[in-house]
Amino acid sequence: MSKISDQEYLLTDQYQDASNLNARIRLHMCFSTNKYGWHRWVFDQINLCPESRILELGCGPGRLWLENLYRIPEGWEITLSDFSSRMLQEARRNLCDSQRRFEFEVVDAQAIPFEDESFDAVIANHMLYHVPDRAKVFSEIHRVLRLGGRFYASTIGRAHMRELHELLSKFDPDAGPWGGRPSEPFLLENGLDQIAQWFSRVTPQRYEDALVITEADPLVAYALSTPAKSILVGDRLAEFIKYVEQELALHGAIRITKDSGIFEAFRDNRA
């Protein structure tokens, strides 16, 4: 099984806390060519009434809201959820001084513990490719959304971070960052068809961006935040650091494709 959808690995290792995710966020914050920012752009896509009840699935450390605090309408009631209790604790810490109305719940997206038609919007930000049974998730989201409610699902495309995968594989064929992709992932290329089975008026939007990395340490930290860390130990880690430094010296920078976007969909009255 690919580790990207291995629930035990994700809960006990990858997302046991926010350290791995934060290492990846730091790389994007420091070296992304689009300076507008991913979380600000995602917030731009959320088109809701001033009085709305919102559920985020897989909120991580809460950066979508932390980076948009001053833009949140006073009338929004926001529930942040994650299947990792420690990740949720970090979201709570990050937002504890915000004076905004947030609720926090440990939630398995395959069994959402809220009543039917409880929310005006559900957000799944870069998390559906981690879920083994997306049909259950879509069914649950459809259930808890009110009629006409909106579903926002962001994800990546097949080209996302391609050069990093190639860099790791060139260094060590066993150092692929996620141990291969699941057989039927949730990507920009196939996400519309998956969502359209449950929701109507599905619209994709792509975020234009790339990475131009000029320092070795943040890239090494990113690699160590993925399953590749099992390979990058001891002498192999030292060799990898040297390898990255040589690539930077040779090319001046390491350029990496980013391919991310979001789907907006609506709940209609289908069963």
Q: pLDDT tens, 145-190?
A: 999 999 999 999 999 999 999 999 999 988 766 655 545 689 999 9
Rounded CA separation 204/56 (Å): 19
- Residue 9 has what pLDDT? 62
Q: Is 113 exposed, middle or buried (0-12, 13-18, 19+ CB in 10 A)?
A: exposed
Residue 119: strand, helix, or coil: strand
Taking the model in full, what pTM does it have? Answer: 0.92
Q: What digits encode the pLDDT tens for the residues 236-260?
A: 999 999 999 999 999 999 999 999 9
- Residue 3 has what pLDDT? 62
Rounded CA separation 133/51 (Å): 32
Alpha carbon 34 to its chain's center = 17
Phi, psi angles (nearest 5°) of residue 78: -120, 125
Residue 167: strand, helix, or coil: helix
Which residue shows structure tokens 């459809």?
A: 142
Residues of the chain with pLDDT under 50: 1, 182
Residue 92: strand, helix, or coil: helix
Domains parsed from the chain with CATH numbers: 3-159+177-209+259-266 (3.40.50.150)
Q: Are strands 200-213 and 254-266 parallel, antiparallel or unpaired?
A: antiparallel
Residue 134: strand, helix, or coil: helix
